[in-house]
Amino acid sequence: MATQSELTSAPKRRWYHNIADAYRVTKRTYPWVTWALIAIPIVLLLVAVGVCVATSIGVVSAIGWVVVALTAGLFFDTMLLTQLLTRATYAQMDGVTGAVSWVLQQIKRGWSVESEPVAMNKKQDLVWRLVGRPGIVLISEGPHHRARQMLAEESRKCARVAHSVPVHTIEVGNDEDQVKLKDVTKELRRLPKAISKDEIPLVAKRLESLKMRTQQMPHGIDPTRAKINRRMFRGN
DSSP helix/strand/coil, 236? coil
Say if residue 165 is exposed, middle or buried (CB neighbours under 10 Å; 0-12, 13-18, 19+): buried
Question: Tens place of pLDDT for every residue, the chain, 236 residues?
Answer: 455 554 455 567 677 778 888 889 889 889 999 999 999 999 999 998 898 888 878 788 888 889 999 999 999 999 999 999 888 888 888 878 888 988 888 887 889 998 889 988 888 889 999 999 999 999 999 888 888 899 999 999 999 888 889 999 999 988 888 899 989 999 999 999 999 999 999 999 888 877 744 334 444 444 444 444 555 455 55
Prediction pTM value: 0.70
Taking CA 228 as the corner, what is the angle to CA 174 and CA 27, rounded to the nearest 5 degrees? 75
Q: What are the pLDDT digits (tens) for 70-85? A: 999 999 999 999 999 8
What 8-state DSSP symbol labels residue 163?
T
| Stated length of the chain | 236
Q: What are the pLDDT digits (tens) for 19-44? A: 888 889 889 889 999 999 999 999 99
DSSP-assigned letters across all residues of 37-54: HHHHHHHHHHHHHHHHHH
Q: What are the pLDDT digits (tens) for 196-213? A: 999 999 999 888 877 744
| C-alpha distances out from residue 2 to 7, 8, 9, 229, 231, Å | 7, 10, 11, 21, 19
Instruction: Tell me the H-state helices in the chain.
Output: 4-9, 15-29, 33-55, 59-93, 99-105, 144-161, 184-190, 199-207
The residue type of 146 is: R
How far apart CA 36 and CA 79 sit, in angstroms, is 12
